[in-house]
Amino acid sequence: MTSQKIKLGARWSALTSRYSIYLIMIGMVVVSSILSPVFLSETNFSNISRQISITTILAFGQTLLIICGMIDLAQGSVMALAGLLAVIFFKATGFLVPSLFLGVGVGVVCNLVSGVIVTRFNTPPFIATLAMQTSARGAALLLTSGQNVYQLKNFVVWGQGVILGIPTPVVFLISVTILTWYLLNHSRLGRYIYAIGGNQEAARASGIEINKVKLMAFGVNGALVGLAGVLYMSRVNAGLPNAGVGFEFDAMTSAIIGGTSFSGGIGTAIGTLAGAFIMGFLSNIMNLLGIQSYLQQVIKGAIIVMAVASDIASKSKRTKTILGNVEEKISKEKI
């Protein structure tokens, strides 16, 4: 009798804690649709998805790295460099699809360089990618002498086009979401990434080639960063060497709100997507309501803290119910 009660209670709190971030997201949709009549309109949703698609793609890359116990501070500037090279290549040759692959390739190469510095020279990812951030931005500025590139013509289809009624960036966003979900949940690489983030020495002892997995995580992140760069330049219809300053932090925010833990080993693709939508809804509804810029920043900060704190609170409540207050077990549980 009592044991059954505990089981039910545990199951309920397990459900709410597992889905707390989605409950917060749904709560935001409900509140926003009451506050603004246009919030739920189809066009507005299409706007939001287009607006968040680029930072969300970056957030997936960041999620992979953070789960693996690493970080990429160079996303914004590598994104700018990759996007710019794609734009310049397209303007010179007129090849549309190769320009996309070139952008992705540049992202991969830059990230493999960071990856090699991390794995071969044992440099902390924070430092290695900080160095890449500076170098890539410098390269983007050097390439254009600091000037913007205009008249992209057809290149805009990547960011402004529509496929079967869905905006192109959103099509990419959906594909990347599926890819990241598959990679994390159903591939060997994904399991290795969780294992390394959870306990690197244990992972090494069980025969995982740590450096190879880390390099591959950087490679995947690079492909996503390159793609984001192409989409960004195309969306704004210009090659901007100054693009994406601070985007890596927006990406990290989405990942963290979505339940990815900086201690490594914890995080999901769908959680990150939810985190990105929470950020997107927030800035959209504040713009729709005409809230003053300064106040917007204050509210944004407050909501981020509230979302993360309530998520953590509901998780630790659950742990206490089931296991007693054993903080360390949370991470083991989630894996």
Partner 1 sequence: MHIASQNKEKQRSELSYGRKFDQSGRELRTMKSRMKTLLVAAAVIVTAGIVTESAGYAQGASRYRIAYIARAQGDSFAAWLANAIQAEAKKYPDVSVTVFDGQSRSDLIESHIENAVQNKFDLIIIQPFDPTIEINPVKRAMAKGMKVIATNPKFSDDSVPSVDASPYQQGAENAKLALTQIPQNARVVVLLGPAGNPHSMGRRDAWQKEFFAKRPDVKILDEQIANWNKDEGMRLTEDWIQSHGKIDAVISMNDNMAAGAIEAIKGSGATTYPLIYGVDGTPEACLLIKDGKMASTTLQNANDLAEKSMKLAHDMLTGQATNLHEFIQAELITKDNVDKYIELHKQLGNIK
Q: How far is the CB of 208 from partner 1 (least distance, A)?
A: 11
Q: Where are the alpha helices (DSSP H) in 187-292?
A: 188-198, 200-205, 210-236, 247-257, 269-289
Q: Please report whether residue 85 would count as binding partner 1 according to CB under 8 A.
A: no
Site string for partner 1, 113-132 (x = CB under 8 A): -------xxx----------
Residue whose C-alpha is closest to residue 64's, from 334, 252, 308: 252
Residue whose C-alpha is closest to residue 273's, from 165, 181, 156: 181
DSSP-derived secondary structure letter, 148:
-
Helix 125-144 to helix 75-93 angle (10° resolution) is 30
Q: With CB under 8 A as the contact rule, which of the stretches 18-26, 190-198, 240-248, 299-307 interacts with partner 1?
A: 240-248
Query: In sequence order, what are the residues at sequence separation of 6 or more whose Cβ sits closer than 8 angstroms to the Cβ of residue 256?
Result: 262, 275, 308
DSSP-derived secondary structure letter, 92:
H
**108 sits in which H/E element:** helix 96-120
Choose, by CB under 8 A, the member of 23, 109, 179, 236 that binds partner 1: 236
CA distance 199 to 69: 9
Q: How far is the CB of 285 from partner 1 (least distance, A)?
A: 9
Q: Please report whether residue 4 would count as binding partner 1 according to CB under 8 A.
A: no
Q: How far is the CB of 24 from partner 1 (least distance, A)?
A: 22
Which of positions 262-301 make contact with partner 1 (CB under 8 A)?
Answer: 283-284, 287-290, 292-294
Q: How far is the CB of 298 from partner 1 (least distance, A)?
A: 13
Interface with partner 1 (CB under 8 A) = 36, 38, 41, 43-44, 47, 50-51, 120-122, 137, 141, 145-148, 150-151, 160, 207, 232, 235-238, 240-243, 283-284, 287-290, 292-294
